[in-house]
Amino acid sequence: MDKYLFVAETGYKRLDSFLSEQTEDITRSRIKKLIEEGNAFVNGAPVTKAGADIKAGDTVTLVVPEATAYTVQAEDIPIEIVYQDADLAVVNKPKGMTVHVGNGNERGTLVNALLFALDSLSGVGGVLRPGIVHRIDKDTTGLLVVAKNDKAHASLAKQIAEKTCKRTYFALLEGCVKEDSGRIVTDIGRHPTDRLKMAVLEDGRGKLAVTDFTVRARFGNEFTLCRFDLQTGRTHQIRVHAKHMGHPVAGDPVYGFKKQKLPANGQLLHAWQLELDHPANGERMRFNAYLPGDFAEILRKLCRRFGVAETEFSDILEK
C-alpha cells in the first residue's frame, strides 16, 4: 500500500484535478476511481466525490492499495509484437481478437496473450485490463501500445488525453467521397435505442468526437480508400463518423449497409500508424503496420479492376 500526503497551496475546484497534478505516475481515471472507492481524505475526513472543492491549506491524503493479482489466465496465443522494452510494447492486433476480458470473453483475448508473452504489465487498468492504455475493436486490426509499468501507463494515458499520441487509420469506405479532405466534429454517445451501438447525438448529449480524413484513392463510385487521423478517441469513432458521412466502412456489420459488396469478414479498418513520446526518455517514436492479408487482397483486386497502380500504396501494402 502506498500513501500520499499533500497540502494545497491554492484552491482547486476538483479533488481529482488536484491529485492528478500532484501524482504524475497515476492516471486521472485511476485517481477518480480511488476517490470513489473511499481512498481519499481531506483534513482527515473521507471524500468520495471527485469534484469536491479543495481550499488553500487543506491536507489531502491519497491511499493506493496494493495491486490485486491478475485473475486473467495467461495463454500461449501467437501475437505480433512490433516493439518492446522495459516500459512499453507495441502490438499489431489481428482481426477477431478482443482486446480485454469482459462481457463473456474470458479466453482468447489480447490480454490473455500479453500475460504469456510479456514479463510485466501495468496494473492501472485493473485485473481485467492490465497494461491496456487504449483499445481497438475486435474486428479492427493494427497497432496499439501496451504499458509494462504504472509510470509508463500514466505517461501514455496523458499523451492520449492531450492528443500528443497520434493514431492514424486506413479504411475502405462505401461509395465515392467527394471531398478530398475534411474534419468531422460531432458528439458521440450511446445509441438511444440500441445500447450495443454508438451514435452521433445532438443537443449537447454525448462527448465531443473529432476525426480528420483524407481521401487516398477513389475506385469509381463504388469505394473510397481514406486515411483517418483521430483527434479524440471515442468508442467506434471512425465507424460512426464514416456512417455520418454517408459512406460507412466496407464490411462493417453494425454501421454498414445491410447488403455488402465485398467478401470482407468484418470492417476494413486498420490502425496503420502510432506515434508517441517514450514515457522514460521522451524520445519521439513512430510505428507502422501494413494492411492485413484480407484488406490488402481486396485493395489489390480493386487496383486491378479500376486500373490503379499498386505502387501508389507502397507505404501500406507489403511487397
The CATH superfamily label for domain 2-63 reads: RNA-binding S4 domain (3.10.290.10)
Instruction: Give me the CATH topology for the region 80-161.
Output: Pseudouridine synthase (3.30.2350)
The whole-model pTM stands at 0.80
Q: Say whether 14 sits in a helix, a strand or coil.
A: coil
Over residues 5-26, the pLDDT tens digits come to 888 888 888 998 888 888 766 7
Return the pLDDT at 30. Answer: 83
Q: Are domains 2-63 and 166-313 of this chain identical in fold?
A: no
Which amino acid, residue 155? S
Which one of 16, 58, 137, 252 is the catalytic residue?
137
DSSP string, 218-250: EETTTEEEEEEEESS--TTHHHHHHHHHT-PBT
Band of residue 68 on the pLDDT scale cut at 50, 70, 90:
low
* Most confident option among 23-32, 98-107, 207-216: 207-216
Residue 69 has pLDDT above 60, yes or no: no
Catalytic status, residue 137 = yes
Return the pLDDT at 284. Answer: 98
Radius of gyration of the CA atoms of the chain, in A: 22
Report the percent of the chain where pLDDT is more than 70: 95
In the chain, where the domains are located: 2-63, 80-161, 166-313
Over residues 265-284, the pLDDT tens digits come to 889 999 999 999 999 999 99
Task: Say whether domain 166-313 belongs to CATH 3.30.2350.10.
Answer: yes
Residues 6 or more apart whose Cβ sits within 8 Å of residue 128: 71, 72, 100, 101, 102, 111
Return the pLDDT at 103. Answer: 57
Report the percent of the chain where pLDDT is more than 90: 63
